[in-house]
Amino acid sequence: RSRDWDGLLIEPHPGRYRQLRQKHRKALTLRTCVRSNSSKPEKEFEDAIEGHIKVPCLWLESILNALGKNTVDLLSVDARDQEMEILKAIPLSKYSINVITVEFVEGSGSDMSVMKYLLDHGYHANHQFVNHPLHRNDMVFTRKKSS
């Protein structure tokens, strides 16, 4: 709020999407999954309220283009060990993404590949938040300033 950022919250899981909507965030919300090069065009869920449903998976590039966005202030990726696939599907040179946070499950091994990938694409690791009870770590990457 203090930075006057726009928000877009993407959540494919029906129950978590309902919880997200109940928070009344000042942001657009989409019940979809973000597509990667190896994912299917839809994902299936069993939900206590809605039963068996299929949720479409969309390319982040398509979503940003539809919204007319070339700049993203903060991209937060929490995709249950699919982070690298999602990041590879985003043309990072086409968009100005200032801050990227990535959640890792402790011991997954994906943190080093994501770190190398983002370092190779003009980001530096800025901070790490560790949540021991949940065995999750969030890493914050910021885009290097052009000289």
pLDDT at 29 over 80: yes
The pLDDT tens digits for 35-85 are 988 888 999 999 999 999 999 999 999 999 999 999 888 888 888 778 888
- Reduce the DSSP state of residue 11 to 3 states and report it: coil
pLDDT at 126: 84
User: Whole-angstrom Cα distance, residue 112 to residue 118?
Assistant: 10
**Which residue is associated with the tokens 């590039």?**
61
Q: Which among 101, 94, 100 is positioned nearest to 70, based on CA atoms?
A: 94
User: Whole-angstrom Cα distance, residue 62 to residue 60?
Assistant: 5
Mean pLDDT of the chain: 85
b/e for 112-136, b at 16 or more Cβ within 10 A? eebbebbeebebeeeeeeeeeeeee
User: Whole-angstrom Cα distance, residue 30 to residue 132?
Assistant: 30
Q: How far apart are the first and last CA of the chain?
A: 29
